[in-house]
Amino acid sequence: MTTLATPTICHGDTRIVAPIAARLQSRPIVIQDVGPQLDCGRYPVKREVGDEMEVGATIFREGHDKLTAVALYREKSASAWREVPLELVNAGLDRWRGAFPLDVNTTYVFTVEAWTDVYASWCSELEKKVADGQQVAVELQEGRALLADAATRATGEDKTRLNEILTRFDAATDPRRIEWALDSTTRLLMARWPDRALAVRYDRELEVVVDRIEARYAAWYEMFHRSQGRVPGKSATFADCEERLPEIRAMGFDVIYFVPIHPIGRIHRKGPDNTLVAKPGDPGSPYAIGSEEGGHKAVHPDLGTLDEFRRFVRACHMQGMEVALDFAIQCAPDHPWVKEHPEWFIFRPDGTIKYAENPPKKYQDIVNLNFYGPHQEALWNELLSVVLFWVEQGVKIFRVDNPHTKPVPFWEWMIGEVRARDPEVIFLAEAFTRPPVMKMLAKVGFQQSYTYFTWRNFKHELIDYLTELTQSDAKEFMRPNFFVNTPDINPPYLQTGGRPAHQIRLVLAATLSSVYGIYNGFELCEATPIPGKEEFLHSEKYEYKVWDWDRPGNIKDFITKINAIRRENPALHELENLRFYPSDDDNILFYGKMSKDRANMVFFAVNVDPFDPHVAELKFPLEEMGMKAGDTFQVEELLTGRRHLWRSGTQGVRLDPEVNPVEIYRIGAWEKVDYRNPCY
């Protein structure tokens, strides 16, 4: 047998010499499929303060050696990494998982590192050989070398303890040495002092944007400010709006979203029902922004002063609500920018300014900005300054009008700049367009997105769409804000379905997603259309309006109840926990949400047909609920307060749109009752 002068033990030495390594994609330890990640880590995933960031990775190397892996993480602005262990959760697929806490409203960076656990590998082999009755004297020499190496690396008390172990190890007999080596304290110490110079780090750093909780959980009330007064033919003021706050708060809303509050252009102003010519006294569309009175940083004089707006913002805060503003990047032809910065607009060969059009349609009351060209930096900075101006007035939420008609890179830049200054700011993208564009806007920064929800009415449409939103990659970056209607969208379902339709859509919006909104008038079941169109008749977009907020047939009590149920049930503050369950009728949708610890479980049976009663058998997911067939459980129907004792996962329900279009069942884990227990 050949021998070598200097014995080498190189279990863990997996270095590859530089000239070879430079040419390779792979490393001695393979770390791949680290997730969640989007587009190869190019865009961050999103979470909210208080979440745990679960990190998964596939990690392996050749042979049988054991590995150790950690997730490294830090706030993006910090330089020092912290780490949490990853656990091997699926040995057959080399899949590891761990989690770190997200405590701060900021951006975190994370990655993964792994190394060969030389000592654990050695222990494992030793144990097998000892169990097999093999001689292990040489193995113990190898193990001693590993202990000595670690003692060299260790510091402080650990160094002392490792050296003590070495001393005892040397003084002991082999059987005792085996015990010392395999002792749990020894292993723990050894795990603390690996040779991290041999660690392999994943070659990408991934990001997670952590927003405040309101990005995920809130109820929005879209308010057409000038219609909140009591005098017909006249604009309401911020003070009138303020008067409505207690009532809106009582209904359970968290956000008051204002359509644009700026001066409205006079040139080519639109008349009632979007007619081309406004008569004197017609107020015009608030989306035709800017006039002599000012542009995007001004408030419409009819509504009040900037001071009065700030007062309104404070009033909202006092009520526990906040204000969202509309950010619509377009100008009336008489917007001050047109005079001050003609270079920001497009002019035609005949010297006229190019107004907005989508041929053959023309929008003469609006001109669009040119986001490109040599003046783009000045323009982009001005737009940024508009947002920051309103942030200074206390506004932390912006609903962005038609972001998909502006460059994607502009949004990435702008939201990034705002977030760097104030991470509390939330942008909602009103992009009703093709899925890849909507998703990209969310990826580059929008914290919330409008969705196709408004047009998903049937059971299977809802299941398909919600499954995509909550179970696909989309859940990592796109928070769907479910609006039941908007000033521009008066869906046929609501036009025809009356009060039950409004109740049904409210429950769906408020419980399928965790963030949702209604547009004022919805609580009154107002859905009178321009015949054959999806638009409101006599829309307040183009004329003054006064509402009776308590008119008969309203569903304010119902909304109040639903928002209270949302608030009281933590499971409904989440999005991804939505699951659909079997119901044997095509009109009855059955779904539920559970908190992670199952302390809160809420199920919904919704008749999506607003016209006729339907019956269904619902199958509750007993196993997911932590129950066995035959368990008795107590159920509370939250709209009626009725309680049930159920012994079967299969339950029949009859939902009559006029009586109970929806039933909501809460099963509290604490309410599991064992009636077979004679001491009960």
Site for a second copy in 395-424 (CB under 8 A): 404-409, 412-413, 416
3-state secondary structure of 680: coil
Report the C-alpha gap between 599 and 668 in whole angstroms: 6
Options 430, 543, 585, 663, the catalytic residue: 430
Which residue in 182, 437, 622, 669 binds a second copy (CB under 8 A)? Answer: 437
Q: Assess 138 for contact with a second copy (CB under 8 A).
A: yes
Report the C-alpha gap between 275 and 269 in whole angstroms: 9
Peptide bond into 360 cis (omega under 30): yes
- State both tokens at 162: 């490792």
Say whether 430 is catalytic.
yes
Report the C-alpha gap between 568 and 562 in whole angstroms: 10
Minimum distance, C-beta of residue 362 to a second copy, in the bound complex (Å)? 8
Question: Is residue 270 annotated as involved in ligand binding?
Answer: yes
Minimum distance, C-beta of residue 83 to a second copy, in the bound complex (Å)? 23
3-state secondary structure of 13: coil
Question: Is residue 541 annotated as involved in ligand binding?
Answer: yes
Residues 112-131 that bind a second copy (CB under 8 A): 124-125, 128-129, 131
Side chain identity, residue 66: K
Minimum distance, C-beta of residue 478 to a second copy, in the bound complex (Å)? 15
Q: What are phi and psi of 317, to 5 degrees?
A: -60, -40
Q: At what angle do helices 408-421 and 435-443 cross, to 10 degrees?
A: 30
What is the per-residue binding string for a second copy in 355-384, x denoting contact by CB under 8 A?
--xxxx---------x-xxx-xx--x----
User: Is there a contact between 397 and 322 (Cβ–Cβ < 8 Å)?
Assistant: yes
Minimum distance, C-beta of residue 62 to a second copy, in the bound complex (Å)? 5
Which residue in 353, 546, 615, 622 binds a second copy (CB under 8 A)? Answer: 353
Q: Which stretch in 137-145, 258-266, 579-587, 606-614 sits in contact with a second copy by CB under 8 A?
A: 137-145
Q: Which stretch in 256-264, 351-359, 388-396, 422-430 sits in contact with a second copy by CB under 8 A?
A: 351-359
Report the C-alpha gap between 393 and 314 in whole angstroms: 10
Q: Assess 456 for contact with a second copy (CB under 8 A).
A: no
3-state secondary structure of 129: helix
Which residue in 21, 89, 188, 537 binds a second copy (CB under 8 A)? Answer: 21
Residues 22-51 that bind a second copy (CB under 8 A): 23-28, 30, 32, 39-40, 42-43
Question: Is residue 402 annotated as involved in ligand binding?
Answer: yes
Minimum distance, C-beta of residue 599 to a second copy, in the bound complex (Å)? 36
User: Is there a contact between 110 and 53 (Cβ–Cβ < 8 Å)?
Assistant: yes
User: Is there a contact between 224 and 520 (Cβ–Cβ < 8 Å)?
Assistant: yes
Q: Assess 645 for contact with a second copy (CB under 8 A).
A: no
Q: Assess 171 for contact with a second copy (CB under 8 A).
A: no
Options 382, 401, 523, 540, the catalytic residue: 401
Question: Is residue 129 annotated as involved in ligand binding?
Answer: no
User: Is there a contact between 504 and 484 (Cβ–Cβ < 8 Å)?
Assistant: no
Half-sphere exposure of 608 (CA within 13 A, CB side): 21
Runs of H (alpha helix) within 580-664: none
Q: Which stretch in 87-95, 153-161, 232-240, 611-619 sits in contact with a second copy by CB under 8 A?
A: 87-95
Residue 366, C-beta contacts closer than 8 angstroms, at least 6 positions apart: 287, 288, 330, 331, 332, 355, 356
Binding site as annotated, residues? 270, 330, 365, 402, 541-542
Known binding-site positions for alpha-maltose 1-phosphate:
270, 330, 365, 402, 541-542
Query: What residues are labeled active site?
Result: 401, 430
